[in-house]
Structure 1
Amino acid sequence: MSVQDYTSRLSDPASRKMGTFSYLPEMTKDQIRKQVEWVVKHGWNPAIEHTEPQFAMSNYWYMWKLPMFGEIDVDAIIAELDACHAANPGNHVRFVGYNNFTQSQGANMVVYRGIPV
């Protein structure tokens, strides 16, 4: 068995990967919904962050509004993901699920990719 190599270089912003899901093909709307449903089902708090592609690896990401503490409406969460993307069309937008028990990020995935500069 061989392990696939993903060439990722600082000199090539388009090659950079951001977490486990970034090595997979881009998620469909239905797949994103299933991830949001999973976070809600497990009682985690959803949050949305965004940043310019050129700063994705070197800076903190901007928080889109406040974390959505206790939000269980999947459609409302997806609407906020879409609103963040519409307001910041060139930015990466990621969905975060905060685990209440470990008080850390339990899930983190980029759902919209910005255009690298």
Structure 2
Amino acid sequence: MNQMQDYKTTVKFETFSYLPPMTPDQIRAQIEYALSQGWAPSIEHVEPENMMNHYWYMWKLPFFGEDNVENVLSEIEECHRKYPGHHVRLVAYDNFTQSQGTAFVVYRAG
């Protein structure tokens, strides 16, 4: 428990933001889980100064029917290369409950 971040001194994002940054293997595992649930992954990005806005920019359309983790990871990397100064997050939509199954920041700017 000593690795949890102090909520008063750091900016919080989405799911997992009170934990240390995820490793590439942990990110892969989260994407694998989302895909195994049948959720549609989507990638969003935003400038750090606008991160608390309700709307982030969508990177392409959600990947409906996607079942390949590598495709999702390559799109995340491409978004990060195109917008290196932006936060990049993955959102996975659950079309059964019509809600987000998960959302977490993959890259934090600066």
Structures share a fold, TM > 0.5? yes
Q: Where do 5+ consecutive residues of structure 1 fail to align?
A: 9-14
| 1:41-86 deviation digits (Å, cap 9, x = unpaired) | 0001000000001100024100001100000010000000010001
| 1:86-108 deviation digits (Å, cap 9, x = unpaired) | 10001000001100111111100
- Aligned partner of 2:17 in structure 1 is 22
Question: Which whole-Å CA distance do the structure 2 matches of 1:56 and 1:62 have between them?
Answer: 10
Q: 1:59 to 1:101 in 2, by over 3 A?
A: closer
Look up the SS of the partner of 2:106 in the other structure: strand
1:92-103 correspondence runs (5 A): 92-103=87-98
Percent of paired sites with the same residue: 57
What TM-score, normalized to structure 1? 0.86
Question: Which whole-Å CA distance do the structure 1 matches of 2:6 and 2:11 have between them?
Answer: 13
Q: Where do 5+ consecutive residues of structure 2 fail to align?
A: none
1:1-117 correspondence runs (5 A): 6-8=7-9, 15-115=10-110
Looking at secondary structure, tell me which structure has more helix per residue: 1
Q: 1:6 to 1:79 in 2, by over 3 A?
A: same
Question: Which whole-Å CA distance do the structure 2 matches of 1:98 and 1:57 have between them?
Answer: 20
Question: Which 4+ stretches in 1 moved above 4 angstroms?
Answer: none
| Contact 2:41 2:90 (C-alpha < 8 Å) held by counterparts | yes
RMSD: 1.3
Larger radius of gyration: 1
